[in-house]
Amino acid sequence: VKVTVELGARSYDILIKPGLLENLPKWLADYGLTPEKGLIITDDKVDPLYGYPAQKRLLDAGSKYPRTIVPSGETSKSRESLFRIYDDAIEAGLDRKALIIAVGGGVVGDVGGYAAASFMRGLRYVQIPTTLLAMVDSAVGGKTGINLPQGKNLIGAFHQPSLVLCDLNALKTLPGREFRAGLAEVIKYGIIYDPVFFDFCEEHLTEAVNGEIPVLEHMVGRSCMIKAEVVSQDETESGLRAILNYGHTMGHAIEAIAGYGKYLHGEAISIGMVFASRLSVQLTGLPSAVAHRIEKLFVLAGLPVKAPDLNWSQLRKAMGVDKKSTAGLPRFVLAKSIGSVEFGVPVEEKILSDTWDRMN
C-alpha cells in the first residue's frame, strides 16, 4: 500500500508492506534520496534487529552512513541524545544535502526528526518506523521533538519527512504489549473517522494480533490514510487535527499521574477513549450500545478500560495542566456516532467525576 500525504511542496509517500528494509537502497534511490552523506538514528534494542542491517545494506550499495544509537525508551527524547546526534553529524561531515534516517519507534522518530529539523536549519529525513504506534501515528504528520525535565515535547518543530517506510515484518519482533498499545491508535481512527474501518478492526482484530500481513497492511494503511487526510487539512493543529486527540485528554492525565511508564500511551488512551465514549453518550448523543461496542473492542485487544487505582482529584488536576485545555473546564473530543466526532466540547465537573466513578 502507498499513502501520499498531500502537503503541496512538502508532500511525501508512506510505503507499507513487508520486506521494505531488505531493499532499502532501492527505495531511497527511487525517491532520489541518495546523498553521499547521511546518518542513521536508532535505539539499542532496535539496532541489532534493523539499525545495523540498514547500515549494512546501504554500505553494500556504496553509502557509508554511520549510526547514532540512543538508549531504548522515552528518556532518549532528551538534550543528551539530540546533542549526540549533532556531534555525530559533525563528525560524519554532514552537509545541507545530507540525509537523516530514523529507524525505530516514536522515540527515535521524534528525536531523529527534530535533529533533522534543526541541524543546519533542516536536513531531509526518512522515517523507518518499527513499532505499530510509530507506523500509524508518530511517523505521519511531521511533528518532531524532545522532552524537557519540565514536560513532554516542550521542544519541537514541524518537519515533514521525505519518505516513510513501514516494513510490516518489523512488527514480528515487537513485544505483544507494545503491539496492543499501537492497536489503540488504530481503533481510534475508526472511531473518529471511518465506521467501515471500525467494523474491519472488530472483525479482524485477532488476525492482526496473530500477525497476518494482509490484515496489518490494511490496518496500517487505512490508519495512515486517515491521519494523512486530517493532517493535510490542518498541518499545524489549528482545528481539525484536534480530533486525533480522542481519548487523549484523559489519557495524558493518566500517563502523568500514574508516573510515566506505568501505562503505555496506547493503554492510557484506551481508558481515555472509553471515558470519552461514556461522556459522548451523555453529551453528544452516542448510543450507549455503541459505547459498549467500543469498550468491547478494547477489551478484545487486550487493552485496559478502567483504572480504579487512580485518584479522581489527581486526575482532574492533571487535566487542568494539559496544554490542550484552555482555562477552566477541560475540553474533550466527543463522538456523535462511530466515524463522526466534535472537538472542543467543555464538560462540567460533575459529569466528569460521575462518569469516572461509574467506569471504575
Q: Which residues are catalytic?
A: 121, 143, 185, 227, 237, 241, 245, 248, 252, 265
Interface with ligand NAD by CB under 6 A: which range of 72-80, 94-102, 311-319, 331-339?
Answer: 72-80
Tell me if 360 contacts ligand NAD by CB under 6 A.
no
With CB under 6 A as the contact rule, the residue among 12, 55, 69, 137 that binds ligand NAD is 137
User: Are the C-beta atoms of residues 229 and 324 closer than 8 Å to each other?
Assistant: no
Angle at CA of residue 284, ends 283 and 289, nearest 5°: 95
With CB under 6 A as the contact rule, the residue among 22, 36, 178, 235 that binds ligand NAD is 178
The DSSP symbol for 127 reads: E
Tell me if 134 contacts ligand NAD by CB under 6 A.
yes
Considering CB under 6 A, how many residues would be counted as binding ligand NAD? 26
Q: Which is nearer to ligand NAD, 190 or 291 (CB)?
A: 190
* Cα–Cα distance measured from residue 188 to residue 168, given in angstroms and rounded to the nearest whole number: 20
Task: Collect all residues with Cβ–Cβ distance below 8 Å to 163 and sequence separation of at least 6.
Answer: 12, 13, 14, 15, 27, 28, 31, 33, 126, 127
Tell me if 19 contacts ligand NAD by CB under 6 A.
no
* Cα–Cα distance measured from residue 147 to residue 106, given in angstroms and rounded to the nearest whole number: 13
Q: Scanning residues 38 to 67, which ones bind ligand NAD (CB under 6 A)?
A: 43, 45-46, 49
With CB under 6 A as the contact rule, the residue among 106, 247, 272, 330 that binds ligand NAD is 106
In angstroms, what is the minimal distance from the CB of 185 to ligand NAD? 8
The secondary element (H helix, E strand) that includes residue 103 is: strand 99-104
Per-position b or e across 315-349, b if 16+ CB within 10 A of its CB: bbebbeebebbeeebbbbbbbeebbebebebebee
Tell me if 170 contacts ligand NAD by CB under 6 A.
yes
Per-position b or e across 82-111, b if 16+ CB within 10 A of its CB: bebbbebbeebebeeebbbbbbbbbbbbbb
With CB under 6 A as the contact rule, the residue among 77, 84, 159, 222 that binds ligand NAD is 77
Strand, helix or coil for residue 346: strand
User: Are the C-beta atoms of residues 4 and 10 closer than 8 Å to each other?
Assistant: no
In angstroms, what is the minimal distance from the CB of 53 to ligand NAD? 12
With CB under 6 A as the contact rule, the residue among 143, 188, 241, 248 that binds ligand NAD is 143
Tell me if 133 contacts ligand NAD by CB under 6 A.
yes
Tell me if 255 contacts ligand NAD by CB under 6 A.
no
With CB under 6 A as the contact rule, the residue among 16, 99, 102, 107 that binds ligand NAD is 107
Tell me if 272 contacts ligand NAD by CB under 6 A.
no
Pattern 108-127, ligand NAD, x by CB under 6 A: x-x-----------------
With CB under 6 A as the contact rule, the residue among 34, 72, 282, 325 that binds ligand NAD is 72
Q: Which is nearer to ligand NAD, 25 or 106 (CB)?
A: 106
**Total number of residues shown for the chain:** 360
Q: Taking the alpha carbons of 253, 225, 155, 158 in that order, is the dihedral positive or negative?
A: negative
Residue with cell 504489549: 177
User: Are the C-beta atoms of residues 13 and 163 closer than 8 Å to each other?
Assistant: yes
Tell me if 105 contacts ligand NAD by CB under 6 A.
yes
In angstroms, what is the minimal distance from the CB of 353 to ligand NAD? 28
Angle at CA of residue 81, ends 121 and 235, nearest 5°: 50
* Cα–Cα distance measured from residue 60 to residue 73, given in angstroms and rounded to the nearest whole number: 30
Interface with ligand NAD by CB under 6 A: which range of 102-110, 188-196, 322-330, 347-355?
Answer: 102-110
Tell me if 173 contacts ligand NAD by CB under 6 A.
yes
The terminus-to-terminus CA distance of the chain in angstroms comes to 40
Q: Which residues form the interface with ligand NAD (CB under 6 A)?
A: 43, 45-46, 49, 72-74, 77, 104-108, 110, 130-131, 133-134, 137-138, 141, 143, 170, 173-174, 178
